[in-house]
Amino acid sequence: MAADAARRVRVIALGLAALAAVAHAETYSVRGACRDGYAHGVYELRDAAGKLRAQGAFNRGARTSSFIYWTANGVRVAHVPYDDGAVAGTVALWYAQTLPGRDARQKLEAAYAKGQRHGLTRSWFPSGRPRGEYTYEGGTLTGAKAWNAVGVALADDAARAQAMRDAAGDAEYFRRARRHQVLTNVAHAPGRCALVAPRGSR
Name the pTM for this structure.
Answer: 0.76
Q: pLDDT value at position 30?
A: 84
Q: Is the pLDDT confidence value at 170 over 70?
A: yes
pLDDT interval class at 9 (50, 70, 90): very low
Does the pLDDT at position 42 exceed 70?
A: yes
User: DSSP letter at 74?
Assistant: S
Of 19-23, 131-135, 195-199, give the lowest mean pLDDT range: 19-23
**Mean pLDDT taken over the chain:** 79
Helices then strands, counting H and E runs in the chain, come out as 2, 13
> Helix (H, G, I), strand (E, B), or coil: what is residue 162?
helix
Nearest to 164 by CA among 144, 184, 191: 144
Q: What is the pLDDT of residue 50?
A: 92
Nearest to 170 by CA among 202, 128, 134: 134
> Which of 58, 55, 54, 57 lies closest to 36 in space, CA to CA?
58
Domain ranges of the chain: 2-177
The predicted pLDDT at position 194 comes to 63
Listed ranges 34-38, 137-141, 185-189, 195-199; the one with the highest mean pLDDT: 137-141
**Torsions phi, psi of 183, nearest 5?**
-125, 125
Residue 12 has pLDDT above 50, yes or no: no
